[in-house]
Amino acid sequence: MGKITRRDFINGTLMAAGATMLPIGCTSDAVLDALNPLYYPPSLTGLRGSHPGSNTHSHARAWSNKSDWGATTELKETYDLVVVGGGISGLAAAYFYQQKHGKDKKVLILDNHDDFGGHAKRNEHTVDGQLRIGYGGSQTIVEPKHGSKNVHALLKDIGVDIERFNTAYDKDFYKRNNLGAVTYFNKEKFGEDKVVKHPYCNYPNYVEGIVMGGKLSNEEAAQQAPLSEKGKEQLLRVLNGGLHKLNIPEHKLEDYINSNSYFDYLEKTLGVDDPGVLRMARNSGLDWALTGTDLMTIGTAKNVGALGFVPKKVYDEENPYIYHFPDGNAGIARALVKKMIPSVAKGKNAEELVMSVFKYAELDKSSNTLRIRLSSTVVDVKHSGDPKNSEEVLVNYIKENKSYQVKGKNVVMACYNMMIPHIVSGLPEEQAAALSLQSKCHLMDFPVSIGGYEYTKTPDDPCIIQMISCPYGDTMGAPALEQYREARYKMLGLQFKDYENEIRVHLSGMLPKELFDFDKDVESITVNRWAHGYTVGGPGDSVLVGRQPFGRITIANCDSAPAADAKAAIDMALRAVNELG
């Protein structure tokens, strides 16, 4: 299919082949020496995020209760701290541990992915010799001025200057280029490919500086939507709707909108039954509240700016949505790694690291006090004795389908909290049950110039197009957890060719055919699929019960906040380290 590159397949094969030729019993340094020198995860394209193979062993453990991994090699490696999970929370836990107990303390981070950062991944594309950088999941430092003192101290120490974004982000770019909010209707779903200059929802608030309001009146927006005449009439009814349509006394209104369904409001109050309008409405909440609007109250739908409610600014003036590195929060993850493994890259601060190529062979050297071991899925964590007085924890992981064991004097679980009951042996039943109630919803080029990197400024320059999908389950109205599972299985079942074809159809449908040729104009595709994305906290006090220390094991990650936020990830890491004593 044209020039679409698939370097992920090539590099993955070379790396695996190099590893299988190593002698049994070799050191981890020998493994690193044998790595393909071209191995550089940020440049990999194709299926990324939850990339093929990254969840194979964890799913076998959680879904099939697999426990027989073959003979286990007991490595002669004992660490002061073992961290399970190499996202921002896991990296921050390593940072805080060495800060508290000394930089000479030995720390090992194990992660099932082929790159560090968790959801904070970096994507690189080179087009005609020009480097384009994008983010692969965690996008921004949300409302940094509301962060704790500990968060600000960490960011300052690793060289992240929050104030720098005030000039790095070009707030006038969209206005200067007359770029406003539009909506694309897909032929498969709506009968024709059509672009309408109206947002129909609150999505422009994700992009600081974009022209927010539609260029059309409600009447024009309804008439231009590719719906039946009945659908257009109902859409106009929704666009002109609002709380004033509810025949509810003012003193009861607040309770009413927070206890009654948005879809009941559409169907019963406004008389909407057109499938096209209901489809538009269901997807108009995007990922603001983690579900489709079919599960929202009227109040929640209003707060997220769903179809029929006035779009609203979500972030205050002191915290505009501008705190993005070109690679999103991978900029934080890379700065943390550089702080603890100085030899990994050149650069004195996060800005200087933007254009730096990291040396992945430096991550797991025995000479490091911090080692990061990638493509290593932890499948069992257990105390060597009674958790109340055990002196060490045994950590088993699978790498290249072989089982290994290391020892840690302490362990921080910075992985998905719902996986912890499956891999930490001996957890109290109440705590395991509480952790099992935690969940995740799934996730599928900002004008920032910083660190020598320049964003795309003219139509003649190559650019990255960010296409974000917020898939819901097919069963409208089904409970959220059922919809998460349904959409997750569908997402993981799709091959790269499926995503590529959908991208082809959408871009070809929304862009003028005389100006766009997919095979000619698309250089490469990276699909950052996250089957376990935003944190969804469990009911009641299950989060607090689930994150309790267990012997020498503590729990970090956003799930234990619960909040899908880099600041929360850092705060939870500090709490977990402090709980170790």
Q: Which of 326, 322, 331 is nearest to 449 (CA)?
A: 326
Whether the link from the prior residue into 275 is cis, omega within 30° of 0, is: no
C-alpha distance across the termini of the chain, in Å: 56
Q: For the packed helices 88-101 and 330-340, what is the interaxial angle rounded to 10 degrees? A: 30
Per-residue DSSP letter, 539: S
Q: Which of 269, 304, 339 represents a domain boundary (last residue)? A: 304
Contact criterion met (CB below 8 Å) for 7 and 51? no
Same domain, 230 and 271: yes
- Tokens 């109902």 belong to 234
Read off the pTM.
0.87
**Domain span including residue 296:** 176-304
For 235-241, which contacts have Cβ atoms below 8 Å and span 24 or more sequence positions? 235/274, 235/277, 235/280, 237/270, 237/271, 237/272, 238/266, 238/270, 238/272, 238/277, 238/281, 238/307, 238/308, 239/307, 239/308, 241/269, 241/270, 241/308
Per-residue DSSP letter, 269: I
Same domain, 292 and 332: no
Same domain, 558 and 415: yes
Q: Which of 243, 276, 304 represents a domain boundary (last residue)? A: 304
Same domain, 245 and 199: yes
Same domain, 332 and 416: yes
Same domain, 340 and 223: no
Per-residue DSSP letter, 266: I
Residue 145, domain member (yes or no): no
The token pair at 325 is 């590195």
Same domain, 431 and 569: yes
Same domain, 364 and 288: no
Residue 19, domain member (yes or no): yes
- The backbone torsions φ and ψ at residue 456, rounded to the nearest 5 degrees and listed phi first, read -65, 125
Helix (H, G, I), strand (E, B) or coil at 510: helix
| C-alpha–C-alpha distance, residues 179 and 259, integer Å | 38
Residue 142, domain member (yes or no): no
Per-residue pLDDT, 151? 97
Residue 571, domain member (yes or no): yes
The token pair at 291 is 């579900």
| DSSP-assigned beta bridge partners for residue 413 | 84, 555
Per-residue pLDDT, 3? 43
Report the CATH number at residue 433.
3.50.50.60
Same domain, 291 and 387: no
Per-residue pLDDT, 37? 62
| C-alpha–C-alpha distance, residues 383 and 327, integer Å | 38
Same domain, 382 and 287: no
The token pair at 576 is 């977990």
Per-residue pLDDT, 35? 53
The token pair at 410 is 């302490």
Which residues of the chain fall below pLDDT 70?
A: 1-37, 212-214, 289, 314, 438-445, 532-534
Per-residue pLDDT, 40? 93
Per-residue pLDDT, 12? 29
Contact criterion met (CB below 8 Å) for 60 and 81? no
Same domain, 299 and 332: no
| C-alpha–C-alpha distance, residues 455 and 152, integer Å | 27
Residue 318, domain member (yes or no): no
Residue 549, domain member (yes or no): yes
Count structural domains, the chain.
2
Residue 475, domain member (yes or no): no
Contact criterion met (CB below 8 Å) for 28 and 368? no
Same domain, 276 and 360: no
